[in-house]
Amino acid sequence: MRRPHRRIETQLTVVGTGIAGFAAALFARARGLDVAQVGHSGALAYTTGYLDLLGVADGRKIADPWAGLDALRMTEPGHPFGRLANADIRAALDAFIGEVNAMGLGYTPAGAANLTALLPYGVTKPTLSLPETMWPGAAALAERAPALIVDFAGLQGFSAAEFAANMAAVWPGLATARLAFPGMESLQVFPEPMARALETRETRAAFVARLRPHLGAVTHVGLPAILGVHRPDTVRAALEAELGVTLFEIPTIPPGVPGIRLRELFERHLPGRGVALEPNLKAAEARLDPSGITLALHGPMEDLDIRAEAVVLATGRFLSGGLRAERSGIRETLFGLPVAQPDGREAWFRPAYFDPRGHPVNRLGLTVDDRFRPLDAAGAPVHPRLHAAGAVLAGQDWARSRSGAGLAIASAWAAVNAAGAELGSSPGDPGPTTAPGAAPAQEPGTA
């Protein structure tokens, strides 16, 4: 039997459904471009939820990421941030955070300085924007507020005792408690089902009853990130009203709820904004020709061809499949784009894991021009309208420098603006656009 074959034509196709890919799709729609996006589950579900811009430079935490970016442009001229001005990076972050807030997920605005965000092991990291559900934790730490940290029987990798022990030097006197999560007693429990359960009134009531006896005189209660998937701000407000304390979330080891929230938020809202989204399909092959780019996708039921005038490649690194390492070398998987690399894999990783310089392999990727177009070996763009954004870019080590989301969002902004200019669109209203007739996304009720 012949498999059904479908063909889509778009101005711009985004390949990848990480932060860079979703940001690119949103930015492109805001410019009025006709957009398709394809991807499959990837690294997004792993994020802490924090939007980092630049938290670490030269192996030290930094307070002012904007000054840090200015310094980075001097010390690392090849860094992708070197192709962007601070004003553009700020515009990109403001636009992204504005979109996320408009879709109903609260994030703090990008400010002038880094915030000190909490991590599950009782250490902190500098970041620029936090989910509203996590922000009170940073504030509580700043005032050393009397707080209770709660963990759950059967929830691995989050220990209130560990958090408090490691925090003790900077935030002494944290109380701890271990609760059995209502309805999930004595089993191994995972954050996502807990978060979904807290969206129901019954579970919240049972949870409040179990937590209340531990409150003592604390003003704040810190929990692993489990306060609902779709309306965390509402779940938090409802619990705070019952408990009379301020609640904050702390990220957990992945896959964690904050990343799932972002992914589900985008998957729910982007189609309504006119993005032809295929969130569970990988681009299997790609063909470049002077007038555009053709992508071939093989779904479970049908084959799909996407014909695009321009492409933003945001396929991430090894974990997400954008790059692949063989014993003999590293390659880009979809277009076979050149990846400049040292001779032999002995040079990929340094002998000491925590070498403060980071591992050379993390800086390999796609070299681009000022319009974020991947370059061939001779230094010319591989295709006039093939752009790249996010972690797949060369010359950066986002994990060590704590710049993952910021780099993804800012490079997506630059790539889309370059593609938009080539396609003749103007940078229209950057605010949220709702396609006419798009049904408001159906959300599981926050009863």
Partner 1 sequence: MSDHETDVLIIGAGATGAGVMRDLALRGIASLLIDRRDLNAGASGGNHGLLHSGGRYAATDTATAAECRIEGEILKRVAPQCIDDCGGLFVAVEGDDPDFAARFPAACAAAGIACEALTPDEARAREPALPQTLIAAYAVPDATIDPFRLVLENVAHAEALGLGRYLPHTAVEGFETDAGRIVAAQARDLRTGAPFRIAVREVVNAGGTWAGRIAALAGCDEVRLLGSKGTLIIANTRIAKGVINRLRPPGDGDILVPGGTVSILGTSSVTLRDPDDAAARAPTAAEVDRILDEGSAMLPVLAETRFVRAFSGVRPLLLSDAAEEDGRKASRGFTLYDHEGQGLANFCTIVGGKLTTFRLMAEKTADLVAARLGVVAPCRTATEPLPSGPGLGWTAPGASARDWMARADATDTILCECEMVARSAVDEIVARAPGHEDHMSLDAIARRSRIGKGACQGAFCSMRVTSHLYDAGVYEGAEGLGEMRRFIDGRYRGVRPVLWGAGLAQTELAEILHVGLAGLDLLNDDAPEDPR
**Given the rule CB under 8 A, which residues bind partner 1?**
43, 46, 48, 56, 59-61, 119-125, 154, 156-159, 161-162, 165-166, 168-169, 186-188, 251, 253-254, 317-319, 324-327, 344-346, 348-349, 351-354, 356, 359, 361-362, 399-400, 402, 404
Q: How far is the CB of 171 from ligand FAD (least distance, A)?
A: 20
Q: How far is the CB of 229 from ligand FAD (least distance, A)?
A: 17
Q: How many helices (H) and strands (E) does the chain have?
A: 11, 17
* Closer Cβ to partner 1, 42 or 292, answer by number: 42
17 binds ligand FAD (CB under 6 A): yes
Q: How far apart are CA 298 and CA 296, in angstroms?
A: 7
Binding residue for ligand FAD, selected from 79, 83, 282, 385, defined by CB under 6 A: 282
CA geometry: angle 436, 439, 441, nearest 5 deg = 130
CA 216 to chain centre: 36
Q: How far is the CB of 398 from ligand FAD (least distance, A)?
A: 6
Task: Decide: helix, strand or coil at residue 26.
Answer: helix
Beta pairing, strands 147-152 & 329-332: unpaired
SS (H, E, C) 72-108: HHHHCCCCHHHHCCHHHHHHHHHHHHHHHHHCCCCEC
Task: Decide: helix, strand or coil at residue 8.
Answer: strand
Q: How far apart are CA 181 and CA 203, in angstroms?
A: 9
Q: Check if the beta carbon of residue 3 is closer than 8 Å to that of residue 372.
A: no
Binding residue for ligand FAD, selected from 47, 133, 159, 446, defined by CB under 6 A: 47
Binding mask 178-217 toward ligand FAD (x if CB under 6 A, else -) reads: ----------------------------------------
Which helix (H) or strand (E) segment holds residue 207: the answer is helix 201-211
> Which residue, 194, 268, 200, is CA-closest to 234?
200
DSSP string, 395-447: S--HHHHT-HHHHHHHHHHHHHHHHHHHHT------S----TTPPPPP-----
Q: Check if the beta carbon of residue 16 is closer than 8 Å to that of residue 407.
A: no
The entry of partner 1, ligand FAD, none near residue 162 (CB within 5 to 8 angstroms by kind) is: partner 1
Count other Cβ atoms within 10 Å, centred on residue 271: 17
Binding residue for ligand FAD, selected from 33, 51, 174, 229, defined by CB under 6 A: 51
Is the backbone peptide bond immediately before 255 cis, with ω within 30 degrees of 0?
yes
* Closer Cβ to ligand FAD, 154 or 321, answer by number: 321
* Closer Cβ to partner 1, 25 or 189, answer by number: 189
Q: Check if the beta carbon of residue 56 is closer than 8 Å to that of residue 62.
A: yes
* Closer Cβ to ligand FAD, 38 or 62, answer by number: 38
* Closer Cβ to partner 1, 52 or 278, answer by number: 52
Q: How far is the CB of 93 from partner 1 (least distance, A)?
A: 19
Q: How far is the CB of 119 from ligand FAD (least distance, A)?
A: 9
Q: How far apart are CA 316 and CA 313, in angstroms?
A: 9
The entry of partner 1, ligand FAD, none near residue 66 (CB within 5 to 8 angstroms by kind) is: none
48 binds ligand FAD (CB under 6 A): yes
The entry of ligand FAD, partner 1, none near residue 51 (CB within 5 to 8 angstroms by kind) is: ligand FAD
Q: How far is the CB of 50 from partner 1 (least distance, A)?
A: 9
15 binds ligand FAD (CB under 6 A): yes
40 binds ligand FAD (CB under 6 A): yes
Binding residue for ligand FAD, selected from 25, 44, 311, 368, defined by CB under 6 A: 44
The residues of the shown chain that bind ligand FAD, judged by CB under 6 A, are 15-21, 38-40, 42-44, 46-48, 50-52, 254, 282-283, 314-316, 320-322, 334, 390-391, 398, 404-405, 408
